Amino acid sequence: MERLESAAALEGLRTRLVKAQDPKLLVVRVCLGPGCLAQGAGKVARAFRAELRKKGLKGKVQPLVKETGCHGFCKQAPLVSLSPSDLFYVQVSPDDVREIVETSLVKGRAVDRLLYGENGTRYRSASEIPFYRLQEKIILKNVGVIDPLSIEDALAAGAYRSLAKALTEISPEDVINTVSLSGLRGRGGGGFPTGRKWRRARDYAQENPGPVYLIGNGDEGDPGAFMDRAIMEGDPHAVLEGMTIGAYAIGAQQGFIYVRDEYPIAVRQLNEAIHQARALGLLGNNILGSGFAFDIQISRGAGAFVCGEETALIASIEGRVGEPVTRPPYPAQQGLWNRPTIINNVETWANVPHIIEKGAKWYTGLGVPHSTGTKIFSLVGKVKNTGLVEVPMGITLGRIVEDIGGGVPGQGRFKAVQTGGPSGGLIPYQFKDVPPEEMKLTKFGLRPRGFLPTELKDLPVDFDSLLQAGSIMGSGGMIVMDDHDCVVDVAKYFLRFLQEESCGKCLPCRLGLKGMQEFLDRFSKGQGHPEDIDELKSLAQAVADGSLCGLGGTAPNPVLTSIRFFRDEYLAHIMEHRCPAGVCKDLITYRIDPELCNGCTLCARNCPQECISGKKKKAHAINSGACIRCGVCRDLCPVDAVKVE
């Protein structure tokens, strides 16, 4: 394709591409997001290709199979959607492909057994399913729809329209004004107003002429979070477009996207997208004939969690050890090679084209005051519909976990939600009676109890409300827990993660996380004194106060919030030597209920310790001396006769 020399040429190309798309042609979209790939979506896509060729449908299906980014409904992976019939199939295996092709593509009917069903209803298309119906997809609109490896597909869906608009109609100053007015806040966790950050960099760059840099932060490392990954893999051009608009506003010539090497698909899609955008003149010198030059380079990280912190990220790009340094000076003043540098999360960048296209006013209409727009969450844990959801800010937590998430699977009850990943806090689902002295939060300042709703399901999800509840928005991980999750164990898990990811520079973080872990290890063994809980709190406070960067500063959050809201559970471990959730291995025993056991021998055959005895058709028993409490017997038992005490 030829280089585009003007905005009009871009529109001309777009019109040609849209015209070339025959709405009657069939399209098969196979989701190749991380969840679907793990469930064998690659094989499904191959099976589709082979089957379509065999059936001679090559000309009627265009392109043969569209391999898209994440559709979001990861629980039901692998996912396949068809257009124009708008059919949406879940849990598709390669064996189902022939039936789909014969029934849906040739005869135009639905394969009922592969449609998603809930409470007795079968849904034909994705937009009818409650999981999708309650979402508001703006950033993810094209993710799962377009082929991320094809710029033509992205252009037909409207990519780079905002860039053309910005370059031809809006002055750099007005771009910053629009972003400021939209109230966009950083999506990586801190929630710093994006417009203010840009202005600071622009002002500083004008006082000190020289190069200015942009960085897209795609170093996503929270356990159970894959928002940035979905954007980079599913719609890389949105990130590139957002960054190019930002570069135009600030006057930058060079941008970097920092992606961890554990995301090889994201690296591939981004590289390909950059390559294609350069070929069309949407990156590089003289973009769209405007004389403005900007280029983007991929910088691959080695997977250190701490490198998501902006100063550590800068050190990593410069080739130094990824350790944070003190701020100020902020990167907006002195960042990469001591020049003004704007670091925004890739999700923030992906918001920018929408703001420029539709205006600040439209954007502030989404969400609530001070937290505008939409936010992507990865909803994981004990919910029926795990996956990626995009909702307007200010939606209540209950709506996300109950209506979109579909509630807890099985018999469990909601207990808590961890927002913001390992740096966030546990929020109890039923608001608990918490002593007033517990409500004084350390670093972020918790407001008085009256501001919080009495039930968590009414808590609005926005930057400020989450802070009030003692948690943070973070990058958008949302882990739901039920009454089979022990808070001590959860706190221990996050602490272990952070301890492994600490860079080791500051003593309170390097030694303190290890020390806190020692406290929790004692608790989970039923050892320790009740006063130790307050000692742990005091240590957690010291770690938060004494650490330099956000990792150490927020690391005690899971511990502090779990003590605040679930002190009774800590006390049960210490005083009664009992784990109410039945998780801490040193405090539980497995027992087979002789009344319920039907003697199927399944447990005895699978016990790794071979410590279950009993004859066929007779009640079995566990030798608790040899039992390692692995839980295999409980998972296998068909009659739920294995009890935990």
Closer to another protein at the Cβ: 54 or 514? 514
Closer to another protein at the Cβ: 322 or 392? 322
338-364: b (≥16 Cβ within 10 Å) or e = ebbbbbbbbbbbbbbbbbbeeebeebb
> Min. distance of Cβ 560 from another protein in angstroms?
14
Closer to another protein at the Cβ: 385 or 502? 502
- Contact predicate 28/61, CB 8 Å: yes
> Min. distance of Cβ 340 from another protein in angstroms?
12
Closer to another protein at the Cβ: 367 or 528? 528
Tokens found for residue 610 = 């071979």
Identity of residue 461: V
Closer to another protein at the Cβ: 361 or 440? 440
Is cis: bond before 329, omega within 30 of 0?
A: yes
> Min. distance of Cβ 301 from another protein in angstroms?
14
Closer to another protein at the Cβ: 348 or 502? 502
> Min. distance of Cβ 552 from another protein in angstroms?
9
Region for residue 592 given its phi and psi (left: phi exceeds 0; alpha: psi -120 to 50; beta: otherwise): beta
Closer to another protein at the Cβ: 526 or 546? 546
> Min. distance of Cβ 61 from another protein in angstroms?
50
3-state secondary structure of 591: strand
- Which residues of this chain interact with another protein, rule CB under 8 A? 304, 321, 326, 328-329, 333-334, 338, 499-508, 510-515, 518, 538-539, 541-543, 545-548
SS (H, E, C) 471-500: CCCCCCEEEEEECCCCHHHHHHHHHHHHHH
- Contact predicate 350/238, CB 8 Å: yes
Pairing assessment for the beta strands 374-381 and 387-392 based on DSSP bridges: antiparallel
Identity of residue 424: G
Among candidate residues 132, 391, 373, 151, the one with its CA nearest the CA of residue 281:
151
Mutual angle of helices 236-250 and 161-169, in 10-degree steps: 10
Closer to another protein at the Cβ: 269 or 547? 547
Closer to another protein at the Cβ: 74 or 506? 506
Q: Which residues pair with 644 in a beta bridge?
A: 590
Pairing assessment for the beta strands 295-301 and 642-644 based on DSSP bridges: unpaired
Alpha-carbon span 87 to 197, nearest angstrom: 44
> Min. distance of Cβ 423 from another protein in angstroms?
16
> Min. distance of Cβ 267 from another protein in angstroms?
23
Closer to another protein at the Cβ: 207 or 595? 207
Closer to another protein at the Cβ: 287 or 513? 513
Closer to another protein at the Cβ: 268 or 505? 505
Alpha-carbon span 82 to 60, nearest angstrom: 13
> Min. distance of Cβ 298 from another protein in angstroms?
23
Alpha-carbon span 100 to 80, nearest angstrom: 10
Type and span of the H or E element at 341: strand 341-345
Closer to another protein at the Cβ: 304 or 560? 304
Identity of residue 517: Q
Type and span of the H or E element at 642: strand 642-644
Q: Which residues contact 592 (CB under 8 A, 6 or more apart)?
A: 603, 612, 619, 620, 621, 622, 633, 641, 642, 643
Tokens found for residue 230 = 């979905």
Closer to another protein at the Cβ: 325 or 636? 325
Is cis: bond before 328, omega within 30 of 0?
A: yes
> Min. distance of Cβ 341 from another protein in angstroms?
14
Q: What distances in angstroms separate CA 386 from CA 17, 142, 378, 409, 451, one per listed residue?
A: 35, 20, 8, 11, 30
> Min. distance of Cβ 333 from another protein in angstroms?
7
Closer to another protein at the Cβ: 295 or 521? 521
> Min. distance of Cβ 514 from another protein in angstroms?
6
> Min. distance of Cβ 541 from another protein in angstroms?
6
Q: What distances in angstroms separate CA 430 from CA 18, 448, 458, 621, one per listed residue?
A: 51, 18, 10, 37
Neighbours of 579 (CB within 10 A): 23
Give the single-character DSSP code of 152.
H
How does DSSP assign 416-463, residue by residue?
A: EEEESGGGS-EEESBPP---GGGG--SSS-PPPGGGS-SBGGG-B-SH
Positive or negative, the CA dihedral 320, 324, 327, 331 is positive
> Min. distance of Cβ 491 from another protein in angstroms?
18
> Min. distance of Cβ 344 from another protein in angstroms?
22
Tokens found for residue 306 = 């701490």
Among candidate residues 385, 474, 380, 373, the one with its CA nearest the CA of residue 423:
474
> Min. distance of Cβ 509 from another protein in angstroms?
9
Closer to another protein at the Cβ: 190 or 289? 190
> Min. distance of Cβ 418 from another protein in angstroms?
22
